[in-house]
Structure 1
């Protein structure tokens, strides 16, 4: 079957591995990448002439079907199918970007914490495979799987603990939790409420709303005070918006009545992130300015990048935080701690302490999981 054959990935190719590509997020994300990444190639300033999507899933039949379906789309982006039967190694070998939507989805009444034990095991196994098969000095790893607040610490600490070759690779600067959906929701909901209030937005414009902290409930801090969008929100409207952004995932889970969670909107948010990294690695841009959930200290317990040392005391020493970053091909190069300094009194005095308190518990949960896991052999 032509679609299941892994093509030779040459030096002039950029390879993106999607782990969990047959799932609700994975299928939609793979479709967006297959359909749209061709436009990044047209702008490329480097010698890369081809983009390849390596699609992996534990469900062999499903991933073969998804890959065959995508392979019929008329773009020059190639695809290959991978499952445990053929080994994850072929999927990860030479990958420049690894995107992970793999895991069990959330169901009604289920919190992100309920997902933790199953998904932490999956993330640990995938982290081991990445450490064994990828160039840790170059690869970017984007974690979509929930609960992000705990699973990114699992991924980072598991690799650093169990794979000695990672210690000097800088991989901790290139493992990032994708919290873009919170930003997408904040922008969408703010625009909607402005229209409902009789304010007409500029044509084809969307608000830019920073969202920091974590990626669940009250760990999500939408900074509407820093939005560039004209707004005359009263206190009730602001409280409504904050709550809706923080619990937007519950809204989708309830609407799907037990048959799924936020897959389409998450795939859209994930695509917006992946395309930035593709553009960076193709040389179309020199750096990324975006918000991701990252460790604030490196493998040697030093601040991950300039700005992290200023941010740490502002977030009471929380080891991981979603914050606007500058990212180069080597990973996080600057942490925009001043975003926290620009918070208004309500955000700083009411929202931030609650966020940090809960976030620390989430982080500790991930670190404790890794500490209790046997060392890989």
Structure 2
């Protein structure tokens, strides 16, 4: 089995490290426009193999020939957010990058499964889908795993509970329009609404929505540890054919009242990519929040189409 990571920046290098340490594939190709950076990070990771105990071989460069016949490809290429920028501000420059990258990916690995991490996430996943010509089940975006991880981390900070006992799900677009689902959040066997007041839970949800921006403000650039680990978790589910249910930006065809877009929904992941979009029984408020999130995603897709017309 083989995985390609496009983009050897902080996020891409973290994806490569996490997947390598899982020791679930024979090869990882790390591609970057700067060949030296990709080669250097690949070599650095290889030199950590004896310490971590993995046998995965990692190769870096700028020639897509080393990516040939990859089973899964993670696209992290693109400019990161800077202070004052929204994900949508990155639309033009990153759509050009993702478009070009996807063409190369599809050329060298026509049967690969694509996971997009580049922002604005939902629309960049749409770009990869259109440029690859792949069936929708083989293209998805990593956002929900990250958003849910942030939510669970904040709940741990609030309650002191183990993250292993915190189960949660967030839907919708990546960013401020995401749809929180407190009704589906439990700590142990207890509903979170029994443990945290509504007002405090609203504050935690709001922090989750702006979690990426909080880190950008602190560091001056986007996060990488959690996004990288989130993408690696999706890779693992696909490679192992584990049928895990994870939130991902997937193509919807009427589920949740939405269609013809990529948006965060629970999916069953395994061999072949998205095996199923899982529909939760939402209440009226949750349905309204999901529709509003879908309206925002459709608006940004429209902006992308206008740019590329």
Q: Same fold (TM over 0.5)?
A: yes
Which residue is 2:142 aligned to?
178
- Alignment partners' CA distance in 2, 1:354 and 1:247: 17
Describe the superposition over 1:114-146 as per-residue Cα deviations: whole angstroms up to 9, x where unpaired: 11111100100011112211123xx11000111
Which residue is 2:128 aligned to?
155
Paired residues in the alignment total 299
Quick check: which has more Rg, 1 or 2?
Answer: 1
- Alignment partners' CA distance in 2, 1:344 and 1:193: 26
Tell me which protein shows more strand as a share of its residues: 2
**Alignment partner of 1:266 is 2:227:** yes
- TM value normalised by structure 2: 0.90
Q: Name which of 43, 52, 60 aligns with 1:81.
A: 60
The CA deviation at 1:353 is 3.5
Retained in 2: the 8 A contact 1:149–1:216?
no
Which residue is 2:249 aligned to?
293
**Alignment partner of 1:332 is 2:297:** no
| Distance change >3 Å, CA 24–CA 204, structure 1 → 2 | closer
The CA deviation at 1:352 is 2.6
Which residue is 2:114 aligned to?
141
The CA deviation at 1:318 is 5.5
The CA deviation at 1:81 is 1.4
**Alignment partner of 1:215 is 2:174:** yes
| Distance change >3 Å, CA 206–CA 102, structure 1 → 2 | farther
SS in 1 for 2:26: strand
Retained in 1: the 8 A contact 2:172–2:179?
yes
RMSD: 1.9
The CA deviation at 1:321 is 2.0
- Alignment partners' CA distance in 2, 1:215 and 1:361: 14
- Alignment partners' CA distance in 1, 2:17 and 2:305: 34
**Alignment partner of 1:275 is 2:236:** yes
Tell me which protein shows more helix as a share of its residues: 2
Q: Unpaired segments of 5 or more residues in structure 2?
A: none
Describe the superposition over 1:271-306 as per-residue Cα deviations: whole angstroms up to 9, x where unpaired: 2222222212xxxx3x3322210122xxxxxx4xxx
Retained in 2: the 8 A contact 1:153–1:367?
no
SS in 2 for 1:215: coil
| Distance change >3 Å, CA 327–CA 67, structure 1 → 2 | closer
The CA deviation at 1:99 is 0.6
